[in-house]
Amino acid sequence: MTEMKIEVGRFNSPLERLYPSNQKVRFVGGEGVVRGSNFEGGTWKYLVEMPQGREPTCGRAGAETMVFLNERELRAA
């Protein structure tokens, strides 16, 4: 059996995501709620929905409050 070493800030298994759906998270520039995740390129990527502020006078264009972020960019709120 081989020994698995875990490096700080890095996960060796794509089966172990750090943030489940509906988890509140913080990142540089804001905070939000995890709405989805995908293992890609050796790391987890998360779809994070940020809270909407007041509606602008021109109206909303769509999902401008959603952003994809790498797991290393997030912290639990």
User: What CATH number corresponds to the domain at position 44?
Assistant: 2.30.30.30
Inter-residue contact 16 to 43 (CB < 8 Å):
no
SS3 annotation, 30-68:
EEEEEEEEEEECCEEEEEEECCCCCCCCCCCCCCCCEEE
What pLDDT was estimated at residue 26?
Answer: 95
Question: Is residue 9 over pLDDT 70?
Answer: no
Which residue reads 């905070």 in tokens?
Answer: 31
Per the domain annotation, does 8 fall within a domain?
Answer: no
Closest by alpha carbon to 26, among 7, 46, 8, 1? 46
Number of separate domains in the chain: 1
pLDDT band with cut points at 50, 70 and 90 for residue 2:
very low
In this predicted model, which residue has the larger pLDDT, 54 or 28?
A: 28
What pLDDT was estimated at residue 64?
Answer: 66
What pLDDT was estimated at residue 48?
Answer: 95
Per the domain annotation, does 11 fall within a domain?
Answer: no
Closest by alpha carbon to 75, among 16, 41, 29? 29
- Residue 35: give the domain boundaries: 20-50+64-77
What pLDDT was estimated at residue 63?
Answer: 57
